[in-house]
Amino acid sequence: MVVLDGENGRDFFSWLVHVKLSRIVLLVFIILLFTPLITHFYLSKVEKNSYFIEHGAHSHEDLPEDGYSFNKEDLRKGVEELLRIRGSVLSELRDIEKKRQQYKSEIQSYMRQLDETKQELAHQQTNLNRLKISVEQAQVAQREALQQNTPDLALPKRLTVDELPIVLPEISKSSSRKCRMHNCFDHSRCSLTSGFPVYLYDPDQYPVMNDGWDVDGFLKTTLKQTLGYNPHLTNDPKQACIYLVLVGEALKDTDDVTENVNNHLNLPALDSEALKRLPYWGGDGRNHVLLNLARRDLSSLSGDMFSNIDTGRSILVQSTFNFDLYRQDFDLIISPVLGPPGGDVWQECNPMLPARRHYLLTFQGEMKKPKTASYNPRNDDSEDNTELNRFILHHLNELSKTTTSDKFFFEFECNPASDNNLNTVIQDWALCGTDSSRRALLKDSTFVLIFAPGQQDLISTTLLQARVYEALRSGSIPVILGGDQIKLAYYEVIQWRRAAIFLPRHRITELHFLLRAIPDEDVLLMRRQGRLIWEKYLASVQSTLDTIVAVLRDRLNIPATPAETVAAVSVFNETFQPIQVTVASEVEQEESLGPLEPPFDSPAFRRNYSLALVQGTELWNDWGDPFRLYPTLPVDPFLSSDAKFIGSGRGFRPIGQGQGGSGKEFSEALGGNYPREQFTVLILTYEREQVLLDSIARLRGLPYLNSVVVIWNSPRPPSAELRWPSIGVPVHVVKAARNSLNNRFLPLDNLKTEAILSVDDDAHLRHDEILFGFRVWREHRDRIVGFPGRYHAWDINTKTSWLYNSNYSCELSMVLTGAAFIHRHYLHLYWKWLPQAIRDKVDEYMNCEDIAMNFLVSHVTRKPPVKVTSRWTFRCPGCPQSLSEDDTHFQERHKCINFFTQVFGYTPLLNTQYRADSILFKTRIPHDKQKCFKFI
């Protein structure tokens, strides 16, 4: 038995500390095992000796006589000795147990220290790997910077002339008829970097009408107001590229202010001498644009004011042209200005559903014979045309009487009491009914028949363009009989075949078959395209003037002016600087997720002069914007996969330098089809300061993070005592003009990356989740890519409306922007293109801005969002109550979906049945390989 005390105990303890764990445990086990056995053996031996003495005395006669008392005393002493030994053993056992517990506690402490050391080693190894990756990436960037042979291009400065047009001799009228852009336009005034400045002659200061005539007052006032919103307008004629002259619609200065020029054909309304007296006419009118904007006169040909006027080298813009007067790609055919000055026009449109309306085909109009001598057909086949027209009318009448299930409505004779039964019609077809009655019929028409002018030398008329305008406004697809003869407004940039059907007159018998051969999908596609054209280019005076300017600018391949951004005004004034503190992440990352690099911005305005060349058609006919120039677009093209290795590798970071790899190589480079980039975190907050600070702190050490932009929605400034976390990237706190959820999507001027991570201030996202979402977004740049999925469900009770649903489902149609990546371009569209009524509804409910963004992106792309990871919602324990916890929250979202559907004319949300997970997820891989993301 060993007793440990004093110096010997300390030596033994010192020895135990340095032995291995297994030996310590074995020694303790031996002590605990053999100590009771030894004690038991000793006690048994004492008892045996006592028993032998006690019983052996009876068999020995030579024992002393007082042996009994001796044995009793000896027994007492033996018992006491045994009790002493027992106490000593118990004391020793307690000491041993105490030391065993102490050793056990120390062993556990050493184990914890060992685990912490291992974790710290792994953490330091991860940081070391990060630093190695960062150094390697910095070296690659340095080599690229040294090897580049072209500088990064920013938007160039505007270069303009600084002199008035030089006066040149007049040209003959015959030479004027041969004008084209190459021989009648002064390109020196319109350099690529000029910005395309446009000067407007004040119609009151520079009248160009003959005595007794004047320009419609509505047009004069509206033109000056709406053109004032155009970014190309200049007040300096010396800098101007083109000069706009308003010459119509003209009214006779009589007691009847509505008396039109058509009733007085003896005297032309336009004064050619007044044109030549314009101060910047330059002798021949080069770079002048004469605007003949029709507003009332929809039934006549007199919209052509220039047939007998010497207009020199000026460009003619109007709705009525004949083949002899129209100069291809020089003059411009436009639609009459029948809409309001500007503003939201969605109320004018009708729902796009159902695809098949009550009537398959309708027509309202009356054929009239010309009553003026000015009707002089180009061809001498008027009898043939009359016979063809009779056959067409006969066929349509027979078509309406067939037993087919399709319904037709044809009205070939106007009501004598109709307000539009004009007496001085010089065109073969006149309108029937009032605007409201025609609109009611068009709302029930899948297709509407429109006749080309009977006069064969006409390429366009005001009436023709007006009927197309009415059809598109009501969602009825135009079917133009004689479509091979005419040109529609802005045809050089608008693909009208995507919105209208053009049919030669002689193919009238094929009409019914052709219309029935179009499936519902194409009907809706054409109707949707027609609404796009109508809203963007025809709906208002503002859109008409913007389109005229944009088409002329497009001819010269001059880029538009940059889209406006919102100035990011800091909540901190110049005299106050917020307190910044260095914080540690809540959870240290257990894997290397990418390099930590200094912030660098996404390249901007790199396609100023090539966008219209390679994507001009999409820019005008899809959901682009030909009126503004944006830094980047979600649909910007990307290089082929081998170009990054052959001549165009700058900025690219292929995985494993192109040979691929698993998780290790994956974490070292972004890979993909686009060059390296970063993203910006955009946070909207309102009076949850500590929650916000915690969210910002969790972003420390996040790779590919460019900056954090916080939109401070509260009217109260942040407390001066707040300790803002320093996370290694800039944190901008922007003051909002007012409390609005629409501020979540402000196109701020300090958003320097294409990728925007929109998050709520209480959203908890791990770093690997964020970076995985970022990598997925890079492959779906035109879509919303994020975490919380929702869907719109059909109300099976009412069967007429939608419901917002957040339950778990195998389909989803929305990804909430409380945690989602979106392209910066959609922030511009949200404020500049989305109808104001939707933003007003968001302010009314203080809700639904995320639904509005989903509607917008799905409407533009016709694609559903992309959900990543299994995340369905986010919870923030201990956070103050949010708006989404109110019982009325879901009721308002039901109403929002149905109201947005009404504004858009249909529900653009599309269902998807899959989510994105990481490659190698749940894949068994060799031990020497690493997954792309360990926990995703």
501 phi, psi to nearest 5 deg: -110, 130
Chain center to CA of 727: 28
577 phi, psi to nearest 5 deg: -115, 130
Count Cβ atoms within 10 A of the Cβ of residue 255 and give its class: 0-12 exposed, 13-18 middle, 19 or more buried: exposed
Cα(744)–Cα(635) distance, rounded to whole angstroms? 23
Q: Identify which of 682, 630, 635, 685 has the alpha carbon closest to the alpha carbon of residue 828.
A: 630
Chain center to CA of 196: 28
- Which residues are registered as beta bridge partners of 912? 812
Type of residue numbered 644:
K
Q: Write the CB contacts of 706 (distance below 8 Å, at least 6 apart in sequence).
A: 599, 600, 601, 678, 679, 680, 729, 752, 753
Count Cβ atoms within 10 A of the Cβ of residue 878 and give its class: 0-12 exposed, 13-18 middle, 19 or more buried: exposed
Q: How far is CA 181 from CA 227, 332, 555, 617, in A?
A: 24, 12, 9, 21
Cα(555)–Cα(371) distance, rounded to whole angstroms? 40
The answer to whether 202 is a known catalytic residue is no
Chain center to CA of 59: 114
- DSSP string covering 3-24, please? ---HHHHHHHHHHHHHS-HHHH
Q: At what angle do helices 520-533 and 462-474 cross, to 10 degrees?
A: 120
The SS3 of residue 93 is: helix
Type of residue numbered 728:
G
Q: Write the CB contacts of 222 (distance below 8 Å, at least 6 apart in sequence).
A: 337, 341, 541
HEC-encoded secondary structure of 438-500: HHHHHHCEEEEEEECCCCCCEEECHHHHHHHHHHHHHCCEEEEECCCCCCCCCCCCCCHHHCC
Q: Given CA atoms 581, 582, 587, 591 in this order, what sign does their dihedral have?
A: positive
Q: How much of the chain is in helix, strand and coil states, percent to nearest 5?
A: 40, 15, 50
Q: Would you call the peptide bond into 73 cis, given omega within 30 degrees of 0 as the criterion?
A: no
* Residue whose pair of structure tokens reads 């957040």 in the numeric block: 806
Q: How far is CA 193 from CA 35, 161, 557, in A?
A: 100, 11, 11
CA R_g for the chain: 43
Residues 850, 886, 887, 917: which is the catalytic one? 850
Let me know: does 304 contact 320? Beta carbons within 8 Å: yes
What's the start-to-end Cα distance of the chain, in Å? Answer: 59
Cα(712)–Cα(740) distance, rounded to whole angstroms? 10
Number of H helices, E strands in the chain: 21, 29
- Which residues are registered as beta bridge partners of 445? 359
Q: Given CA atoms 668, 672, 673, 678 in this order, what sign does their dihedral have?
A: negative
For residue 615, how many other CB atoms are within 10 A of its CB?
A: 17
Largest CA distance in the chain: 175
Tell me the HSE value of 26 on the side-chain side, using a 13 A CA sphere.
5
Cα(851)–Cα(896) distance, rounded to whole angstroms? 8
* Residue whose pair of structure tokens reads 């956070």 in the numeric block: 879
Cα(598)–Cα(22) distance, rounded to whole angstroms? 50
Let me know: does 845 contact 896? Beta carbons within 8 Å: yes
Type of residue numbered 919:
I
Residues involved in catalysis: 850
